[in-house]
Structure formats: C-alpha cells, structure tokens
C-alpha cells in the first residue's frame, strides 16, 4: 500500500495535516479511516494451535487432558515457514486446522458497543490497513454489514490483496439453532458481509433458545431467553446443519465457541465433521489449561477471546488483569505494551488470539510481533498458575449457566 492509495481511497486528507513525517504508514491509514464517515448500519436491531500431531508430538510432550502444567514452547518452534504472507507488521504466525485450512494467529475482534454506528467500519478499515488478515465476527455483534463494507472498500483500494487473503469468521446465535435457522443465519451473514463464503462458521454458545423472529430472540416474562431444552441437551440437529453448510462450501471450516469438555465429548460421538475450532475465553486469570489440552488432543484449535483479560473488570480477587504487578513489570522491562505480552503468551501456548480495540494506536501496537524470552514466558505462567476466573458469563441474559460449578464457587462474573 502507498500513501497515495490511502488518500485516494478516503474522503478526507484532513487527518494528515500536522502529522509528523516519521509517523508509520499504518498509523496514517488509520487516521484517515477514523476520519472517514462510515456507511450507515441498515440492519441494526435493538434488542493452534496446529493440530496435536503438528505441535505436541513434535515437541515431545503429552496433550493429556489431565495435565495441569502449562508447557514451555521454545521460540525456535515458530519457524519462518509458519509466517502468513500478507501481514506487514507482525511475524504473521499462522496455524493449520485439521482439514488443512490456514488461519492467521492474530485475529481482530469486531465486537462493538450497541449504538456505535460507524465505529466498526473505521476499526476494521484501520485493522486491515495495519495488516490484520483475520476478522472475528458474529450475528450477535449486529455489525456484520459494517465489516462487509470495510472489507469491500479495502479490497477495492488494494487490488494486490484478494478475498482469499482475508480470513473471516462469524457465528450463529442461540435463537437460530434449529436447522432451518442455521441455514438462514449463514445466508444472512454472507449477504451482510458481502462475501460468497465464510472461512470459519461457529456455534456461538452451547445454548439453544426460542426465537421471536429470525432477527430477534424470544424473551420470557423474567427478561431472559426462553431456552429450547431439547436442542440444548442434544445439539445434533444443529451440528448436522453446520456440517451441511461445510459440505456445500459456504464455510471453509466449522466449529464451536464456549463449549466445555463435556459438551465436546458428546459432540465428537456423533459428528461426521469434527469441529475445527473451539473459541473460548483464555487469559492469565483463566488459562483454561485442561480444556486447551483436550482441544489439542482432539485436533480442535483453541481460539482465545478476551486474551487481554477484560482489563477493566475486577474479579472477586479485587485485582484487574491490567493492574497485575508481575505482568506490568514484564511489559515495562521488555519495552512492550501489556497487550503485546498477553498476545505473545497466547501465541506461544499454541492458539489463535483475538484482541479487539477501536483505538488506532492500540490496533497497531497489538499487531506488532514480539517473542517472549523463556524467563518472561515462565513469569506469565506463574501469574496464571492456580487462577481460574471467568469474565464472560451471560447466564443473567440467557437464564442458563454453562458453568454452574464456577458460579457456585464465585469464579465467574
């Protein structure tokens, strides 16, 4: 990309005035992106790691689900051959799913606060200009249209980048678990994202709910979702619909999100196509080691959402992730941001990380590649050791708790 491309593809060059000559090109692109008026959101509703055989076997340690030790993966494991060819500021580490599909190791989370119309378009444009080639989306985020507009405009302005160079994930929401609704969901996402296929399609939660309409979940008298008990307890019909979408080529890979070991064990018994991914909350306050190991063992790539630990939330320990002294000391001593430390820690553990931000400087810095020394990596592991606190639990919205044992022990938000 040239500076001419950036200027000619935007509606304004005002943000370039008084910008220091030394400003990185990606930052200039983000300044333009965040000054450009985004298309309206017309549909807004109110409402691996490499598979086990590649990683664990090559390093000589077990992927047993009973393991409680976070393994040290040497920096030498991440060879140049793993690099993703379209990134510019990051090492571009990628992973290979069990079906051979490549997935960039650092994705850009697109969740945005409701009502922030236009912010997703700006943030995604900035991320793409920075070099991200992996976008994590969902029906629930209500902004797939803005993501699609940003991707379409970026590709038009950058003809050297093709659709197949951008990995797009989206997810089916709880009220769309009936087979016909799963089909509606993928078609809706394809239309809004303005693409012919999705790279990765996930079942967002292991919870099925009634729908008011396909655009709106049904809410009961208690203000919570009306749960479809039979489909929640036996999601085989939902997964059969996911497999159909995969076999039709509308999704290059399929998977789940927020699924437990127990849920995965049931799914694997009847799945004709095994889930390629399980997207779960992972950070030093919730290392999720047993589940991560289980996924590796069964060639399911873990993806970490909230890899920075929902930094503004305070768990029952009274300590924020962003205020942990050890983590901040590692960042300060190494000249990194705290986010860079946490992203590098996740990558070295062997899974995809999905940071999100609407701040141009943070979008850029999160994508910069760093490699933790063994000492730094072990220091983060010690912070994670023995911790288990979940920031994302929508039990009060759903009226259904995926992790009741954690709630009982006050280990969940």
Long-range contacts of 223-228 (CB under 8 A, 24+ apart): 224/396, 224/397, 224/398, 224/399, 225/174, 225/175, 225/397, 225/398, 225/399, 225/400, 226/399, 227/398, 227/399, 227/400, 228/177
| DSSP-based three-state secondary structure for 134 | strand
Within 10 angstroms of residue 296's Cβ, the number of other Cβ atoms is 29
Residue 69 and residue 27: Cα distance in Å, rounded? Answer: 40
Choice among 56, 121, 132, 141 that is catalytic: 141
- Give the containing element (helix H, strand E) for 278: strand 277-281
Specify whether the backbone of 350 is left (phi greater than 0), alpha (psi in -120 to 50) or beta.
Answer: left
> How far is CA 124 from each of CA 130, 149, 321, rounded to the nearest angstrom?
10, 9, 26
Read out DSSP for 210-275? -EEETTEE-B-TTSSB-B-HHHHH--HHHHHHHHHHHHTTSBS-EEEES--HHHHHHHHHH-SS--
* 134 beta partners: 167
Confirm whether 141 is a catalytic residue. Answer: yes
Positions annotated as catalytic residues are: 141
């Amino acid at each position: 990309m040239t500076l001419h491309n950036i200027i000619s593809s935007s509606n304004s060059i005002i943000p370039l005035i008084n910008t220091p000559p030394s400003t990185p090109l990606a930052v200039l692109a983000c300044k333009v992106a965040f000054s450009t008026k985004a298309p309206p959101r017309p549909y807004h509703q109110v409402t691996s790691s490499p598979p086990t055989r590649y990683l664990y076997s090559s390093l000589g340690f077990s992927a047993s689900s009973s393991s409680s030790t976070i393994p040290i993966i040497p920096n030498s494991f991440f060879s140049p051959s793993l690099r993703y060819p379209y990134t510019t500021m990051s090492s571009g580490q990628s992973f290979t799913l069990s079906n051979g599909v490549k997935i960039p190791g650092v994705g850009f989370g697109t969740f945005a606060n409701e009502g922030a119309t236009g912010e997703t378009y700006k943030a995604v444009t900035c991320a793409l200009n920075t070099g991200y080639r992996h976008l994590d989306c969902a029906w629930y985020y209500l902004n797939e249209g803005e993501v699609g507009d940003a991707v379409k405009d970026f590709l038009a302005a950058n003809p050297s980048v093709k659709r197949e160079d951008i990995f797009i994930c989206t997810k089916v929401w709880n009220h769309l678990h009936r087979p016909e609704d799963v089909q509606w969901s993928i078609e809706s996402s394809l239309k809004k994202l303005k693409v012919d296929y999705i790279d990765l399609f996930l079942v967002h939660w292991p919870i099925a709910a009634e729908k008011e309409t396909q655009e709106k979940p049904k809410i009961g008298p208690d203000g919570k979702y009306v749960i479809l008990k039979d489909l929640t307890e036996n999601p085989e019909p939902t997964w059969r619909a996911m497999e159909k979408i995969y076999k039709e080529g509308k999704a290059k890979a399929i998977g789940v999100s927020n699924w437990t070991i127990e849920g995965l064990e049931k799914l694997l018994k009847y799945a004709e196509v095994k889930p390629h991914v399980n997207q779960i909350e992972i950070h030093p306050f919730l290392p999720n080691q047993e589940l991560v190991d289980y996924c590796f063992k069964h060639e399911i790539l873990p993806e970490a959402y909230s890899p920075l630990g929902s930094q503004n939330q305070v768990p029952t320990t009274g300590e924020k992730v962003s205020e942990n002294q050890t983590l901040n000391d590692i960042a300060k001593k190494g000249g990194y941001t705290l986010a860079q430390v946490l992203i590098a820690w996740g990558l070295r553990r062997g899974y995809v990380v999905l940071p999100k931000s609407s701040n141009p400087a943070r979008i850029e810095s999160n994508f910069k590649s760093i490699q933790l020394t063994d000492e730094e990596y072990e220091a983060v592991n010690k912070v994670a050791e023995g911790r288990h606190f979940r920031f994302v639990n929508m039990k009060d919205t759903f009226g259904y708790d995926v992790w009741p044992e954690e709630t009982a022990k006050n280990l969940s938000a």
